[in-house]
Amino acid sequence: MWRVFVCLVFAVTSATAQKVEVIKFDRLEELMTTQSDKIQVINFWATWCGPCIQELPYFQNLEVQDPSVKVTLVNLDYADKLKKVNSFVSKNKITSRVLLLDDIDYDAWIDRVDPSWGGAIPATLFINTASGQRKFVDRPLTGAELETLIKSVKSTK
Residue numbers at the binding site for another protein (CB under 8 A): 44, 48-49, 51, 76, 78, 104-107, 110-111, 117-122, 138-140
**Closest approach of Cβ 105 to another protein, in Å?**
5
Q: Which residues contact 82 (CB under 8 A, 6 or more apart)?
A: 20, 22, 100
Closer by beta carbon to another protein, 21 or else 111: 111
Least gap, CB of 83 to another protein (angstroms): 16
* Shortest distance, position 86 Cβ to another protein, whole Å: 19
The minimum distance between CB 67 and another protein, in angstroms, equals 31
Which H or E element spans position 23? Answer: strand 21-23
Closer residue to another protein, CB minimum distance, 142 or 155: 142
Q: Which is nearer to another protein, 117 or 136 (CB)?
A: 117
11 versus 108: smaller Cβ distance to another protein: 108
Q: Which of these, 13, 58, 67, lies nearest to 38 by C-alpha position? A: 67
Q: Please count the CA atoms within 13 angstroms of the CA of 82 that sit on its side-chain side.
A: 12
71 CB-side CA count, 13 A? 26
9 vs 108 by CB, closer to another protein: 108
Q: What is the DSSP string of 78-119?
A: -GGGHHHHHHHHHHTT--SEEEEE----GGGTHHHH-TT--S
Cβ 75 to another protein shortest distance, Å: 11
Instruction: Find, among 98, 90, 102, the residue nearest to 25 by Cα.
Output: 102
